[in-house]
Amino acid sequence: EHQDHIRQMLMLEPRGHQDMFGAILTEPVTDGADTGVIFMDSGGYLDMCGHGSMGAVVVLLETGMLSGDIQEKNNPRTLALDTPAGLIHARAVIKDNRVTSVTIQNRDSFFCESMEIELDPIGKVPVDIAYGGNYFALVNADHLNLPVTPAHIDPLKKLGIAIRTAVNRQFIFSHPVSGLSATVALTEIYENTDPPRNIVVFGTGQVDRSPCGTGTSAKMAFLHHKGRLKPEEPYAYQSVFGTQFMGKILKETQVGDRPAIVPEITGNAWITGFHEFVVDATDPYAFGFDIQAT
């Protein structure tokens, strides 16, 4: 509702691109939080993001934005992030004054339901829906007759959007605590390789470059529901590009009357640059453009 032109300016071309993702650091509004984080992409905003949280932690610590030394004597350094999904606890392992890994304890995650959708021209496709900070439609790539590889990204993107559209036509679900009506925002197409890998499609066809922290949480909630993943059992998960997170169920819990898990995700991020952007009032595309929408 407010200042969305800033998101457009940073995320869209010519400064960003269709798959761009960002995090705005703010003053926290929740007691005990070190900083607030608002996650954004070229299409809008998300309640929670695992890789965005990891990136924010690395920036906060390695640039000195948070008070306190980034030294091994403070190892691991713990932080609390105030996100739209709630308070997220993170810990960073430090070596030689650099962050070498970030672990986040994500929001309590749970399985929602299974359904079957009609997908042209494939036919009936089974879908599992789970919550991991965002709502995900989980689909085994075997049902789509496509491997999860970089060479198949374009058809996987189209299928991801079609799956989300079909799911939201029949998915009726309210969060068991807040009562808010749920909408599936992301499609997670996975392949049971070793380790398993996925492609996460969101927005107007954007693709996550990471294995997706909230998607990994949703996948672990689904696997736990099916009896395939136990607490404290490590779960490695790769993206279509080969980037990897290590997940783990810390413990079982409840969200309202629904069985749930407390997920933990470990990964890392690296600072690639420091940028200064300008807006020229005479520029007809001062706040960016979306070539997909033209």
The strand pairing partners of 143, in sequence order, are: none
pLDDT at 291: 83
Kindly tell me if the per-residue pLDDT of 123 is higher than 70: yes
- pLDDT surpasses 70 at 63: yes
For the purposes of burial, counting CB atoms within 10 Å of the CB of 214, is it exposed (0-12), middle (13-18) or buried (19 or more)? Answer: buried
Residue 204's pLDDT band (boundaries 50, 70, 90)? confident
For residues 256 and 53, what is the distance between their CA atoms, to the nearest angstrom?
26
- Could you give the residue numbers annotated as active site? 49, 212
Token digits of residue 158? 């189209």
Q: Which residue has the higher pLDDT, 197 or 205?
A: 197
Fold match, 4-105 / 110-262 = yes
- Residue 125: is its pLDDT beyond 90? yes
pTM beyond 0.85: the answer is yes
Asked whether residue 93 carries a pLDDT value surpassing 70, the answer given is yes
Bridge-based pairing of strands 110-119 and 123-131 is antiparallel
The CATH class of 4-105 is alpha beta
Please say if the pLDDT value at position 74 is more than 70: no
Which residues, in sequence order, are CB contacts of 60 under 8 Å at separation 6+?
A: 25, 34, 35, 66, 79
**pLDDT confidence of residue 24:** 96
Q: Can you give the pLDDT at residue 262?
A: 98
Residue 127 — very low, low, confident or very high, per pLDDT cuts 50/70/90?
A: very high
Q: What is the reported pLDDT for 292? A: 77
- In the chain, what are the helix, strand and coil shares in percent, each to the nearest 5? 20, 40, 40
Residue 125 to residues 5, 142, 143, 171, Cα–Cα distance (Å): 39, 10, 6, 15
Token pair belonging to 124: 């009936």
CATH number of 110-262: 3.10.310.10
End-to-end CA distance of the chain: 23
Closest by Cα among 141, 135, 91 to 109: 135
| Spans of all domains in the chain | 4-105, 110-262
